[in-house]
Amino acid sequence: MKPSFSLNDALAAPFVLLRRRPLYLFVWGLMMMALVAAIYSLMIPLFASVIGSASREDAVDAYMVESLRLQAGMQGMNLLMYLVMLVTWTAAGRATLSPHRGDRFLFLRLGMDEVRVAVTFVGVFIGWYIALIVLVMLGVGIGAALWSSGRATAIGVVIAYGLGVLALSIWGWLRVSLIAPASLILKRFAFAEGWALARGHMWKLLGLNILVWLIYMVGLILMYALAGAILVGSFFGQGLEWPANIDSYADIQPLVHAMIVPALVTLVPFSIVFGWVMALYAAPSVLAARQLLDGVPAAAVEPIVEDAPPADTLQPL
């Protein structure tokens, strides 16, 4: 019987984590929130310089100078953000693979699993991107070659070609989407295995990814609505008013002080949702890969640490 995966189980995986491990998700999200807060705090001098400027030209100049000064710091923070995303992705993957067992480090590690997942993600992205550039250049060439035989023909062919490239790029992306999860599960680079696993499941994977995206959008809207409700409710609840003129930081200081506690309260939904978003990115594909590797729907998967399968457990497809 051909191995398959359950769309229901895959989609339910991030919700299972949310129900069973809300604290883990909160901490993962809090790590990301801390970085976001650090990035914004780096930008405070930038905004302060603009607010304190005498004229519009001075404000632009001050903004440019501060932007340049902050460039290195912002780049460093962005890199750190990618690192945290990687660590939380693998943590969410591990937690999905060990549904009945907790972990005192909340499944957070910084080891070879992370190296392998990072390398597979970056490598796959670079390969996909290069292929896309080559295909786009070919499309430009085909369009240019056909241009003299008639604009309508050239435009028609290029549009058809473009749609073909779009379909091919989505197909390619889906086909490689199980490489990182398989590498995490098998504890080695699993390019061939991940590629083979996706074969014959492209429509299911497409559906899974579309549904994940829809759930992500709904989750994000709900999070912003909740955070907005907390902030707006607190603003009006305290009877605050927006200052008519803002010439210096002193003008908004009372407002900032009054809103600090409500802003801190929003950290809770923001952190849980950010943690859940990482689970949403990782859990469905990890669970799908696990079930495909096992050859049966994963009713009772074991903790990843104990059950890393040997090389020959890949089922023939």
Partner 1 sequence: MTFSATEAAFEGFRVVRHHPLAVLFWGLAYVLFYGVIFGLFGGPLTSMMAAMMAGFTAGQSAAEIEGLGESSAGLLWLLMPLMLILGSVTSAAVARAVLRPSEKAFGYLRLGGDELRVLAVSVMLFIVILAVSVVLFGLTGVLAELAKSINAGLGVLVAVLLGCVSIGVIFWLTVRLSLAVPITVAEQRIAPFASFPLTKGKVMPLLGMAILAGVMSMLVSILVTVVAWPAMDAVGGETGLMAYAGRSTAEILQQAAPVVVVWVLVNALQGALQLAVLYAPFSAAYRDLKGLPHE
Query: Phi-psi category of 200—alpha, beta or left, where left has phi over 0 and alpha has psi -120 to 50?
Result: left
Least distance from C-beta 108 to partner 1, angstroms? Answer: 17
Instruction: Kindly state whether residue 34 participates in binding partner 1, applying the rule CB under 8 A.
Output: no
CA 19 to chain CA centroid, nearest Å: 21
Least distance from C-beta 142 to partner 1, angstroms? Answer: 6
Contact criterion met (CB below 8 Å) for 113 and 184: yes
Question: How many angstroms separate the CA atoms of 131 and 123, rounded?
Answer: 12
Least distance from C-beta 72 to partner 1, angstroms? Answer: 5
Instruction: Kindly state whether residue 148 participates in binding partner 1, applying the rule CB under 8 A.
Output: yes
Contact criterion met (CB below 8 Å) for 286 and 304: no
Question: Count of residues for the chain?
Answer: 317
Instruction: Kindly state whether residue 45 participates in binding partner 1, applying the rule CB under 8 A.
Output: no
Q: Please pick, from the candidates 23, 44, 138, 218, the single residue that binds partner 1 as defined by CB under 8 A.
A: 138
Question: By CB under 8 A, what part of segment 115-134 binds partner 1?
Answer: 115, 118-119, 122-123, 126-127, 134
282: burial class by Cβ within 10 Å (0-12, 13-18, 19+)? buried
Cβ closest to partner 1, residue 79 vs residue 210: 79
**Which amino acid is present at 269?**
P
Least distance from C-beta 148 to partner 1, angstroms? Answer: 5
Helices then strands (H, E): number in the chain? 10, 0
Candidate ranges 24-32, 157-165, 187-195, 233-241; the one touching partner 1 (CB under 8 A): 187-195
Which positions touch partner 1 (CB under 8 A)? 64, 68-69, 72-73, 76, 79-80, 82-83, 115, 118-119, 122-123, 126-127, 134, 137-138, 140-148, 154, 188-189, 191
